[in-house]
């Protein structure tokens, strides 16, 4: 189609599509998209993991679908078409979660449905899938999902460990015997502002390691 | 003195650029300027020099804090001996409080100054004195029974995320001491409210006199036990349970006097905060929908940390409004919000902390509009002058 010269499936350029959103072009810490759900679902690690997985699947598959249809979608109604595709996929994910992981689905509540409004999805469709081949779009979707998921998992891990004293529901702090030494869980970790502060700290660490991310004043 | 000066001059070369300890330059400078007036002069333009610099300012605030600190020490002992039902003399009470309070002060200073020193070395700044006051404020606004590690954690949080990320002393948006308290309040609510933490030893269940309650006036009101409230006189003098330094309105007033006379604290902010609180208190008195609203408005001025926040936190020159008109608005809103939060949401008994933090965030906005209004007014005047000249 649009790429006449045969390119290997995982060429350096394609691999970069996969890795750059995890680091240098992270959707949360660099593009600052999808913050809302990052604050809402990261109280515990498990819902954060499930959310990361759901978003990755939806963004990767919708990228492929839209990319395959891109030459047939009339420009004026492209947003509606994109939304139909995303909404369909989100409903499928929601139903699957309700069927096979009901507890987590209940914890995530409306936030699975709200994947539709996650800026990362529309952003990738508009910026990438509308002008690239399906395979590249798939890699881009996977990469962005992973970048989003990575931050969610880091934030979820620390919030659960410090806020509830557990990791994936396993009482780490209690097993280490820290409670009897006078340690107490930090109630602020459970509140959304702390998630924002944690994301801020991750941005701080990332920028101090990679100076090229710091904007010129 | 001359001996000291010579010694310092002798070791000074080691700390200058290229010297053996050049990395510790700002530490050296910090100590040198602590002992002597710095001899550095500006190299361009003329500047008005005043004997008041940041160090002297901070020292005056520390002096103003002394009455509240000393009273807090005595009251710690007084409340303790009252709770266990033991007779004790004045000195015994004071020494008891001193021994209990010293660890809090030391932990706060070591944590805070440690971070400030490290941050100054990393950035190559000189060490700022901002923490001298914050480090004394923090122990005075926490319960005496707070675990030391929590205090250290909160101090670190306040200094790093409340101050250093914004660029250090003078650049912070929020008052560092209140940031530390807010962190403790939301992180460990069990240690920051209730009727046990305010009196030494009560959380460990030491033998207490029957019927003794360690609840603060605000705690009593939040639980609809307003009839158990101490008398106005007791609350004014401060022989009530509460955070270490905030119980005595009298001692705080002495501090306020020192701040106003030396011109360090803004009397405009203090007066307008008072006005805002009285205004809101009178409105609630007029409504009188529940027992809390019926509490006489002047009670609010002596209960909880209102007086302490008004004198020492709201007037923080860094986080308050800078414009003179802005100060009136800023102070009035603090007073109003303090009483509003206190009465309407008893889940947050200490309204003054949240009110000041909230208005800290709004202070730059207030200043912006005050400055813009001034520019507009002067432009108008200039336009009028221009028109008349043309004619």
Residue A110 is predicted with a pLDDT of 80
* Residues B195/B215, Cβ–Cβ less than 8 Å: yes
Q: Give the mean pLDDT of chain A.
A: 85
For residue range B273-321, list pLDDT tens digits in order: 999 999 999 999 898 888 788 888 888 888 888 999 999 999 988 889 9
Q: Do B161 and A184 touch (CB under 8 A)?
A: no
CA of B161: which chain A residue's CA is closest? Answer: A197
Q: Which residues contact B171 (CB under 8 A, 6 or more apart)?
A: B163, B318
CB-CB: which of A183, A184, A188 is closest to B183? Answer: A188
How many CB pairs below 8 Å do chains A and B form together? Answer: 21
The pLDDT of residue B337 is 93
pLDDT of amino acid B48: 65
Residues of chain A found within 8 Å of residue B186, distances taken between Cβ atoms: 187-188, 191
Q: Which of A67, A73, A83, A93 is nearest to A121 (CA)?
A: A83
Contact list in A for residue B189 (CB cut-off 8 A) is 187
pLDDT at B28 over 80: no
Per-residue confidence (pLDDT) for residue A1, from 0 to 100: 45
**Cβ of B187 and A188 within 8 Å?**
yes
A32/B contact by beta carbon, under 8 A: no
- A188 contact B CB<8A: yes
Q: In 3-state terms, chain A is what percent helix, strand and coil (to 5)?
A: 70, 0, 30
Helix (DSSP H) and strand (DSSP E) numbers for chain A? 10, 0
Residues from chain A that touch B150, judged by Cβ atoms under 8 A, are 184
With respect to residue B14, please indicate whether it lies within any of the assigned structural domains: no
Q: Is the pLDDT of residue B214 over 90?
A: no
Q: Which residues of B touch A (CB under 8 A)?
A: 147, 149-150, 161, 165, 183, 186-191
Q: Give domain status of residue B383, yes or no.
A: no
A187 at B interface, C-beta within 8 A: yes
- The answer to whether the CB atoms of A204 and B165 lie below 8 A apart is yes
**Span of A86-100, A147-161, B31-45, B124-138 with lowest mean pLDDT:** B31-45
Q: Are residues A162 and A186 in contact, defined by beta-carbon separation less than 8 angstroms?
A: yes
Q: Which of A105-119, B29-43, B214-228 has the lowest mean pLDDT?
A: B29-43
* Residue B334 covered by a domain: yes
Q: What tens digit of pLDDT does each residue of B240-282 get?
A: 888 888 888 999 999 999 999 988 888 999 999 999 999 999 9
Report the Cα A188 to chain-centroid distance in Å: 23
Strands (E) in chain B, as ranges, are none
A141 neighbors A64 (Cβ within 8 angstroms): yes
Contact A51, A195 (CB under 8 A): no
Q: Quote the pLDDT of residue B38.
A: 67
What are residue B263's phi and psi, to 5 degrees? 80, 15
CA-nearest residue to A192 within chain B is B186
CA distance A135 to B35: 69
B152 contacts in chain A (CB < 8 Å): none
The most confident of the ranges A174-178, B87-91, B147-151 is B147-151
Q: Is the residue at B30 inside a domain?
A: no
Find which of B160, B182, B184, B186 to mutate to test the A interface (most A CBs within 10 Å of its CB): B186
Collect all residues of chain A within an 8 Å Cβ-Cβ radius of residue B149.
Answer: 182-183
Question: A57, A17, A22, A35: which is closest to A150 by C-alpha?
Answer: A22
Instruction: Summarize pLDDT for A149-166 with one digit per residue, the tens.
Output: 999 999 999 999 998 888
Q: Which residues of A touch B187 (CB under 8 A)?
A: 186-189
Q: Average pLDDT, stretch A99-125?
A: 84
- B33: in domain: no
Asked if A189 lies within 8 A of B187 by C-beta distance, the reply is yes
Q: Give me the domain span that covers residue B72.
A: 54-207+215-374
SS3 A170: strand
* Rounded-to-integer distance, Cα B14 and Cα B24, Å: 9
Closest residue on chain B to A184 (Cα): B188
Residue to test with chain B: of A163, A178, A181, A186, most B Cβ within 10 A:
A186
> Is A189's Cβ below 8 Å from some Cβ in B?
yes
CB contact under 8 A, B147 and A182: yes
Residues B116-158: pLDDT tens digits?
A: 888 887 877 777 777 888 899 999 999 988 889 999 999 999 9
Helices B176-187 and B351-390 cross at an angle (nearest 10°) of 140
Closest CA to B241 of B278, B283, B199: B199
Mean pLDDT of A13-41: 81
pLDDT of residue B205: 65
d(CA B352, CA B314): 9
* CA closest to A189 among chain B residues: B187
Global pTM value: 0.84
Percent of chain B residues past pLDDT 70, beyond the cut: 90
pLDDT of residue B333: 94
CA distance A200 to chain B (A): 10
**Residue B191 confidence (pLDDT):** 85
What Cα–Cα distance (Å) separates residue A211 from each residue in A196, A207, A208, B65, B332? 22, 6, 6, 43, 44
Residue B389 in any domain: the answer is no
Rounded-to-10 torsion of CA B303, B309, B315, B318:
-170
> Per-domain residue ranges for chain A?
22-208
Closest CA to B246 of B308, B193, B200: B308
Instruction: Among A184, A198, A208, A214, pick the best mutation site for testing chain B contact (most B Cβ within 10 A).
Output: A184
Q: Which structure tokens are listed for B348?
A: 């947050």
Interface test mutation site (partner A, options B146, B153, B187, B192, max chain A beta carbons within 10 A) = B187
Residue B188: which of A187, A191, A197 has the nearest Cβ? A187
Q: Does A186 reach chain B within 8 Å, measured CB to CB?
A: yes
Average pLDDT in chain B: 84
- pLDDT confidence band for A22 (50 / 70 / 90): confident
Rounded Cα distance between B129 and B56, Å, is: 10
**pLDDT tens column, B177-205:** 999 999 999 998 888 877 777 877 777 66
Instruction: Give the whole-angstrom CA distance, residue A107 versus residue B177.
Output: 36
Structure tokens at B284: 């609630």
**pLDDT above 70 covers what percent of chain A?**
96
Search chain B and give the residue with CA nearest A200. B161
Nearest by CB: B161 against A182, A186, A197: A197
Residue B42 pLDDT: 65
CA angle A64, A140, A132 (to 5 degrees): 60
Q: Is residue B353 part of a domain?
A: yes
Chain B residue with CA closest to A191: the answer is B186
Q: What angle do CA B324, B326, B331 make, to 5 degrees?
A: 105
- Contact between residue B16 and residue B47 where contact means Cβ atoms under 8 Å apart: no
Per-range mean pLDDT, top range of B41-50, B67-76, B123-132? B67-76
List CB contacts (< 8 A) between B147 and chain A: 182, 184
Asked if A184 and B189 come within 8 Å (Cβ–Cβ), the reply is no
Closest CA of chain B from A111, distance in Å:
25
Cα A85 to Cα A64: distance, rounded to the nearest angstrom: 10
Number of domains in chain B: 1
Q: Under an 8 A CB cutoff, do A186 and B187 touch?
A: yes
In a domain, B11, yes or no: no
DSSP string across B268-327: HHHHHHHHHHHHHHHHHHHH--SHHHHS-HHHHHHSTTHHHIIIIITT-TTTS--SHHHH
Partners of B156 on chain A (C-beta within 8 Å) are none
Do B139 and B105 contact (CB within 8 A), yes or no? Answer: yes
Contacts of A205 in chain B (CB under 8 A): none
């Amino acid at each position: 189609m649009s790429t006449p010269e045969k390119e290997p499936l995982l060429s350096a350029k394609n691999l970069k599509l996969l890795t750059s959103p995890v680091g240098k072009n992270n959707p949360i810490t660099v593009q600052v998209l999808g913050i809302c759900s990052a604050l809402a679902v990261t109280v515990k690690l498990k819902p954060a993991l499930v959310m990361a997985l759901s978003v990755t699947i939806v963004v990767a598959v919708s990228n492929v679908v839209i990319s395959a249809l891109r030459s047939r979608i009339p420009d004026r109604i492209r947003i509606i078409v994109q939304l139909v595709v995303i909404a369909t996929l989100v409903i499928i994910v929601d139903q699957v979660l309700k069927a096979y992981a009901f507890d987590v689905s209940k914890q995530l509540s409306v936030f699975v449905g709200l994947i539709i409004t996650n800026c990362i999805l529309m952003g990738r469709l508009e910026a990438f899938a509308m002008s690239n081949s399906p395979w590249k779009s798939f890699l881009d979707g996977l990469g962005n999902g992973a970048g989003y998921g990575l931050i969610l998992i880091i934030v979820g891990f620390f919030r659960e460990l410090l806020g509830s004293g557990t990791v994936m529901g396993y009482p780490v702090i209690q097993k280490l015997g820290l409670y009897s030494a006078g340690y107490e869980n930090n109630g602020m970790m459970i509140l959304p502002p702390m998630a924002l502060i944690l994301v801020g700290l991750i941005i701080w660490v990332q920028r101090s390691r990679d100076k090229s991310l710091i904007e010129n004043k | 003195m001359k001996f000291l000066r010579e010694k310092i001059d002798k070791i000074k070369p080691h700390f200058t650029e290229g010297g053996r300890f050049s990395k510790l330059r700002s530490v050296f400078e910090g100590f040198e300027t602590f002992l002597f007036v710095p001899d550095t002069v500006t190299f361009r333009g003329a500047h008005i020099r005043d004997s008041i610099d940041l160090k002297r300012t901070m020292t005056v605030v520390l002096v103003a804090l002394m009455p509240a600190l000393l009273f807090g020490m005595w009251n710690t002992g007084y409340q303790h001996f009252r709770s266990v039902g033991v007779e004790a003399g004045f000195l015994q009470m004071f020494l008891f409080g001193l021994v209990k309070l010293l660890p809090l002060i030391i932990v706060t200073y070591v944590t805070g100054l440690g971070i400030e020193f490290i941050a100054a070395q990393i950035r190559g700044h000189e060490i700022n004195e901002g923490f001298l006051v914050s480090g004394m404020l923090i122990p005075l606004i926490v319960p005496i029974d707070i675990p030391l590690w929590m205090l250290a954690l909160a101090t670190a949080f306040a200094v790093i995320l409340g101050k250093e990320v914004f660029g250090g002393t003078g650049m912070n948006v929020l008052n560092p001491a209140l940031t530390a308290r807010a962190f403790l309040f939301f992180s460990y609510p069990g240690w920051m409210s209730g009727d046990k933490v305010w009196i030494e030893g009560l959380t460990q269940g030491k033998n207490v006199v029957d019927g003794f309650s360690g609840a603060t006036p605000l705690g009593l009101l939040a639980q609809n036990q307003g009839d158990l409230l101490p008398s106005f006189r007791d609350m004014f003098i401060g022989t009530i349970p509460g955070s270490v330094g905030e119980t005595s309105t009298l001692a705080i007033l002495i501090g306020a006097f020192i701040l106003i006379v030396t011109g360090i604290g803004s009397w405009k902010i203090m007066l307008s905060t008072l006005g805002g609180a009285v205004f809101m208190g009178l409105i609630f008195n007029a409504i009188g929908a529940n027992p809390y609203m019926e509490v006489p408005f002047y009670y609010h001025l002596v209960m909880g940390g209102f007086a302490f926040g008004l004198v020492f936190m709201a007037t923080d020159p860094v986080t308050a409004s800078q414009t003179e008109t802005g100060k009136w608005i800023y102070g009035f809103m603090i007073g109003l919000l303090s009483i509003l939060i206190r009465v309407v949401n008893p889940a947050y008994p200490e309204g003054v902390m949240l009110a000041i933090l909230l208005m800290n965030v709004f202070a730059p906005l207030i200043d912006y509009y005050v400055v813009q209004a001034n520019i507009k007014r002067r432009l108008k005047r200039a336009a009028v002058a221009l028109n008349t000249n043309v004619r």
